[in-house]
Amino acid sequence: MKKCVACNQMHHLSWPAKLLSQTRLNQSSHLRCARRRAFRFNMMRASLRGLAGASVAAGAGAYGVARYGDDDTQQRVAIGVVGTLARIFLRGLNNFTMHESHHLDCALARPKGTALLSVSNHIATIDDPHLLSAIVPYWVLADGSSEMRWGVCASDVCFRPGSMLSRLADCAKVLPIQRHGGVWQPELEGIIAKLREGAWVHYFPEGKIRQDGRIHPFRRGVGRLAASVGEGEELQVLPFYHEGTSTIQPTTPTAKTIFTRPNLGTDVHVIFGPPVDLSRLLALRGEPPFDRRPELLYEVIAHTLEEEVRKLREELHRRLGKQAFALKEGGSFDHDQPKVWQPGEGTLAAGTGR
């Protein structure tokens, strides 16, 4: 055995190699190391790309198998296959930790007919289905047609006419929504209908992926969802906060899809909070000025849920020993760089959305 000065590896030398000069020894040994490393890297890259796209490919295959079945069969097959692969990807190839997961367990065991609306921050393309598949017990994936969440995805992303993703979304319990469509867009009616049926809907109230470390203002649409469940209908609103998926799948000019090479071995943490009690706010639906301008109440509900998710972030950082979050947050619902309230400034000016 002799140490290669170029790659710092130990190599077994045959007797002809012992006759080589030190320079030729280093060159030949390092060349073999480089070839082995290149081979391993190419194999890893191919396997990662295959795994990153496996959920979509498997889902398309599952759709092909179940295309002649009813909606229940399509959903059961697609969610079972895609969800399992996504779960293996996030849990098996990264360091996945859940905190206070009993809140999720209780929500999944809610009484029949009680709707569940879960809300969280949105930091990566793999937040759904990968993260949502990783946090639930496996029996939920196995019975995905009735127990798994209804997801929400922008029409220009998941529902482009003729795309494979559109066909997959149809049988993977994903509902469309229009970006910048406003709080009265008809697509929200479809989501509300699922809640009134007692289903689980997961909603990203920030509106799009945010990887700047901040929690951005929650859009009013989530307030309309919570306020549209009528009297006599039960609804649980479950907040959670997560981080780590933005490191696995960063969104950059050269990496915008799930088919780019992920950064595996990342620490992923998810923390759940107790269901948010909105009864006091919902009781104001018939009171002025909310009876004439219900979107104002939707805004208050959205801000309430935003603060709950922010509290969960603070608690997670406390447990992980991270410093308190110092970036500016808050402000308008309609701008990416909103005015931010600072202590001692009084109230926000009109039009800032708070």
Q: Which two tokens stand for residue 258?
A: 């799930």
Strand partners, 154: 177
Amino acid (one-letter) located at 153: C
In a domain, residue 348? The reply is: no
Q: Judge whether 133 lies within some domain.
A: yes
Q: Which residue has the higher pLDDT, 312 or 3?
A: 312
Q: Does residue 352 sit within a domain?
A: no
Pairing of strands 10-11, 174-177: unpaired
The percentage of the chain sitting over the pLDDT mark of 90, rounded to a whole number, equals 55
Rounded to the nearest 10 degrees, how much is the dihedral formed by the CA atoms of 242, 244, 246, 248? -140
Say whether both 186 and 259 belong to one domain. Answer: yes
What pLDDT score does 289 carry?
A: 94
Tell whether 17 and 107 lie within a shared domain: no
Phi and psi (nearest 5°) for 82?
-65, -45
Nearest CA among 59, 63, 32, 225 for reference residue 130: 59
Between 251 and 151, where is the model more confident?
151
Q: What is the distance between the alpha carbons of residues 149 and 77, in angstroms, rounded to a whole number?
A: 15
Residue 334 lies in a domain: no
CA distances from 23 to 6, 8, 26, 29, 167 (A): 10, 14, 5, 10, 60
**pLDDT of 210 over the 70 cut:** yes
The verdict on 83 and 219 lying in the same domain is yes
Q: Kindly state the average pLDDT of the residues 292-300.
A: 96
Question: What pLDDT score was predicted for residue 21?
Answer: 46
Q: What is the pLDDT of residue 204?
A: 97
Q: Is residue 245 scored above 70 in pLDDT?
A: yes
List CB contacts of 343: < 8 A, sequence separation 6 or more: none
Q: Within this chain, do residues 272 and 197 fall inside the same structural domain, yes or no?
A: yes
Q: Which run of H or E residues covers position 269?
A: strand 267-272
Domain span at residue 89 reads: 48-320
pLDDT of residue 5: 46
The gap from C-alpha 226 to its chain's centroid, in whole angstroms, comes to 20
Average pLDDT, the chain: 80
119, 218 Cβ separation under 8 angstroms: yes
Secondary structure, 3-state, 125-174: HHHCCHHHHHHCCHHHHHCHHHHCCEEEEEHHHHCCCCCHHHHHHHCCCE
* pLDDT score for 227: 95
Confidence of residue 320 (pLDDT cuts 50, 70, 90): very high
Closest by CA position to 345, among listed 326, 335, 333, 331: 331
Q: How confident is the model over 298-309, as a mean pLDDT?
A: 97
- pLDDT of the residue at 343: 39
31-63 residue pLDDT tens: 565 566 555 545 555 444 445 454 455 545 554
pLDDT at position 222 over 90:
yes
Split at pLDDT 50, 70, 90, the class of 291 is: very high
Looking at residue 143, its pLDDT comes to: 81
The answer to whether the beta carbons of residues 57 and 49 sit under 8 Å apart is no
When pLDDT is cut at 50, 70 and 90, the band that residue 146 belongs to is confident
Backbone angles phi, psi at 175, to 5 degrees: -110, 145
Beta bridge partners of 236: 116
Tell me, yes or no, whether 175 and 205 share the same domain. Answer: yes
36 inside domain: yes
- Residue 180: per-residue pLDDT: 87
For residue 95, list its beta bridge partners.
267
Residue 313 covered by a domain: yes
Rounded Cα gap, residues 220 and 95, in angstroms = 34
- Residue 280 CB burial class (10 angstroms; 0-12, 13-18, ≥19): exposed
30: enclosing H helix or E strand: helix 22-66
pLDDT at 200 over 70: yes
Q: How far is residue 248's CA from residue 266's CA, in Å, rounded to a whole number? A: 6
Contact present, 229 and 235 (Cβ < 8 Å): yes
Do 58 and 136 lie in one domain? The reply is: yes
Q: How many structural domains are present in the chain?
A: 2
pLDDT band at 339 (very low <50, low <70, confident <90, very high): very low
Q: Are residues 21 and 123 in the same domain?
A: no
Q: Is residue 126 part of a domain?
A: yes
Q: At residue 322, does pLDDT exceed 80?
A: yes
Assess whether 119 and 32 both reside in one domain. Answer: no
Both 98 and 164 in one domain: the answer is yes
pLDDT at 30: 54
- State residue 350's pLDDT score: 33
